[in-house]
Amino acid sequence: MSAQTQDRIKSIQRKYLARRDQIANDPTLSDVGRRRASARTWKATKDEITALRQDQADAAQQEAAQKLRSLFGVNSSNPATVIAYRDAQDRAAQVKSPAEAMDLYARAQRNGDDMLAKAVAERAWHATSDLTPAWAQIVESYLIERPAAKATADRICQLTREQETVTEKLMVGIPLPPGFTDSWSAEAAAREDTAPTEEMSDSARRRANLDRTFRMAGGTPPAARTAGVANSNPHAG
């Protein structure tokens, strides 16, 4: 994970914790409003983290694809070389089992046929997902004799491992909002549709109701009159 990404994560964490404390100490919010606002803030932060994770995943996939092309691609623009490697890949693609692949790989090594050895190693690389150790042995055999290729393969594996744990790493320092024990209930609360007055404290609700009453009667709400007096007083502030 880059230093720039780490700095961005820390900024997201600080912003979330500051907003959480602000909500907790907001006297205009009722318990319902405080719970709802806390859940919304957490959900917005989680969405921001998810977007950051996607950015990381896209960058990692792009780098892994480039590394994989470097590892098993044709590093030549010579048409004859390109055709020869395609033929080697066709032979490797016809292999049906790890034992058959190992035999073909061993023959390529004995004959000094590096293209065929690479093609078989590529075939084994993509087949390792079936958890058959013999496929992995072919890849290891190919890489151990080629330090530069091994470094490239190690980087691809590192990128894969990082993506498997990146969400957990990014969510560290983003605790659930107060009163919630799991992310499901916090997300549900963030989606709740409550009336604005339900989110106000008792005093704030009384002021809002009083202002609404004055407006319905065609008068000036107390809050507006107070603001007007303050604005007209040259000594105010």
pLDDT in tens, 167-225: 566 666 688 888 888 888 888 888 876 555 444 444 544 555 555 555 555 655 555 54
What range defines the domain where residue 66 resides? 3-189
Radius of gyration of the chain (CA): 31
Residue the block writes with tokens 């809002």:
208
| Residues 102 and 205 placed together within one structural domain of the fold | no
Structure tokens belonging to residue 107: 């023959």
Calpha distance 232→227 (Å, rounded): 9
Q: What SS3 class is residue 75? A: coil
Rounded to a whole number of angstroms, the distance between the first and last alpha carbons of the chain is: 49
The answer to whether residue 234 sits within a structural domain is yes
| Residues 151 and 38 placed together within one structural domain of the fold | yes
Calpha distance 118→89 (Å, rounded): 9
Work out the angle at residue 93's Cα, subtended by the Cα atoms of residues 124 and 117, and round it to the nearest 5 degrees: 55
The answer to whether residue 196 sits within a structural domain is no
Cβ(150)–Cβ(138) under 8 Å?
no
Model's pTM, two decimal places? 0.60
The answer to whether residue 226 sits within a structural domain is yes
| Residues 90 and 171 placed together within one structural domain of the fold | yes
Q: What is the DSSP letter of 197?
A: G
The answer to whether residue 170 sits within a structural domain is yes
Residue the block writes with tokens 């065609």:
218
The answer to whether residue 195 sits within a structural domain is no
The answer to whether residue 85 sits within a structural domain is yes
Asked whether the predicted pLDDT for residue 122 surpasses 70, the reply is yes
| Residues 226 and 130 placed together within one structural domain of the fold | no
The answer to whether residue 194 sits within a structural domain is no
Residue 200: phi and psi, rounded to 5, are: -90, 150
User: Tell me: the pLDDT tens digits for 9-21?
Assistant: 888 888 999 999 9
